[in-house]
């Protein structure tokens, strides 16, 4: 199971997250989803450089973005996501580490957004 | 004259001379030191006429050594043999096969001199290993 699948599984199983978004956690940004919702995006991946085999490990940067009609709603959702993921053991054995966060107003969707970046 | 990149190096580590199937898997950045020749012997004498000291090579050098980063798997047999050899101090053989067209090899008896494992919060479990040669090197082009 890769990092995004493991993060997805953790979020849809977390009561604090699902109380806010239900099952509206997406691996790609879909059109006009019901708000609020969460989108995962693999930003970067860094495999180990080895002489012979394919790397059995990679460092993955995943951005988790919360969309809400209010700034407070986006912030509340990202706080729940940080609690659900930061340092927690995922089903694939990884432990995400929170590395960055941002809030913004997304012109394209007309929604408030809050982002959290995790290294897995 | 051919030129080669280093990716594709094969390292084998075992009690057997030479190692055959005991490949060190998940080997990352590595380095091979061929050794260093002993200090020159000053043989300058009264009849040295050039104004320049004269020296002789003593005929000895230090053995080779090898260091490498391994993505460590405690369950891998060869990784475990490296750890075991470090704890016991027992001899092993290291066989390096270079990624050139002729697959040149370098073989020497060694011991595991040191191991270290950095444990950053965000990182890979990497074992840094130093192997120290115990005798001469056999090079096969």
Quick check: A68 pLDDT over 80? yes
Q: What pLDDT does A111 receive?
A: 95
Distance from CA of A53 to the nearest CA of B (A): 6
Q: Is A46 on the interface with B (CB under 8 A)?
A: no
Q: Does the distance separating the beta carbons of B122 and A97 come in below 8 Å?
A: yes
Q: Is B7 on the interface with A (CB under 8 A)?
A: yes
Q: Is A83 on the interface with B (CB under 8 A)?
A: no
Q: Is B30 on the interface with A (CB under 8 A)?
A: yes
Query: Considering only alpha carbons, which residue of chain A is nearest residue B70?
Result: A50
- For chain A, the maximum distance between any two Cα atoms, rounded to a whole number of angstroms, is 51
- Which of A51, A57, A119 is facing B7, going by the closest CB pair? A51
The predicted-structure confidence for A8-64, as pLDDT tens digits, reads as follows 999 999 999 999 999 999 998 877 789 999 999 999 998 889 999 888 788 899 999
Interface of B with A in 58-97 (CB under 8 A): 71
- Count of beta carbons in the 10 Å neighbourhood of residue B65: 19
Q: What pLDDT does A102 receive?
A: 96
The predicted-structure confidence for B44-56, as pLDDT tens digits, reads as follows 999 898 889 999 9
Q: What pLDDT does B107 receive?
A: 98
Query: Considering only alpha carbons, which residue of chain A is nearest residue B27?
Result: A50
Q: What pLDDT does B85 receive?
A: 98
Q: Is A76 on the interface with B (CB under 8 A)?
A: no
Q: Is B25 on the interface with A (CB under 8 A)?
A: yes
Segment B32-50 shows an average pLDDT of 95
The predicted-structure confidence for B56-82, as pLDDT tens digits, reads as follows 999 999 999 999 999 999 999 999 999
Q: What pLDDT does B6 receive?
A: 93
Question: 3-state secondary structure string, B17-84?
Answer: CCCCCCECCCEEEEEEECCCECCCEECCCCCCCCCCCCEECCCCECCCEEEEEEECCCCCHHHHHHHH
Q: Is A51 within 8 Å of B9 (Cβ atoms)?
A: yes
Tokens of B28: 């990352």
Q: What pLDDT does A89 receive?
A: 93
Segment A70-78 shows an average pLDDT of 97
pTM for the structure as a whole: 0.83
What is the residue whose two structure tokens read 């059995």?
A56
Q: What pLDDT does B24 receive?
A: 97
Q: Does the distance separating the beta carbons of A56 and B26 come in below 8 Å?
A: yes
pLDDT above 70 coverage of chain A, percent: 100
């Amino acid at each position: 199971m890769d990092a995004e699948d493991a993060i997805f599984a953790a979020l849809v199983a977390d009561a604090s997250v699902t109380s806010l978004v239900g099952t509206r956690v997406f691996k790609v940004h879909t059109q006009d989803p019901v708000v609020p919702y969460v989108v995962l995006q693999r930003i970067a991946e860094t495999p180990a450089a080895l002489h012979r085999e394919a790397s059995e490990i990679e460092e993955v940067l995943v951005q988790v973005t919360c969309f809400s009609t209010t700034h407070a709603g986006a912030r509340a959702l990202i706080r729940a996501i940080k609690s659900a993921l930061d340092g927690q053991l995922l089903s694939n054995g990884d432990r995400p580490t929170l590395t960055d966060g941002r809030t913004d107003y997304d012109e394209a969707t007309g929604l408030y957004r809050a982002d959290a970046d995790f290294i897995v | 004259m051919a030129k080669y990149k280093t990716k594709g190096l094969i390292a084998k580590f075992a009690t057997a001379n030479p190692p055959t199937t005991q490949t060190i898997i998940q080997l990352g950045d590595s380095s091979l030191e061929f050794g260093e020749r002993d200090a020159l012997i000053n043989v300058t004498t009264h009849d040295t006429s050039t104004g320049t000291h004269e020296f002789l090579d003593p005929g000895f050098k230090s053995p080779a050594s090898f260091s490498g980063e391994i993505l460590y798997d405690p369950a891998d047999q060869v990784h475990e043999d490296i750890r075991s050899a470090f704890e016991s101090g027992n001899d092993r053989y290291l066989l390096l096969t270079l990624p050139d067209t002729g697959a040149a090899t370098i073989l020497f008896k060694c011991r595991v001199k040191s191991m270290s494992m950095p444990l950053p919060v965000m990182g890979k479990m990497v074992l840094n290993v130093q192997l120290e040669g115990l005798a001469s090197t056999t090079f096969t082009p």
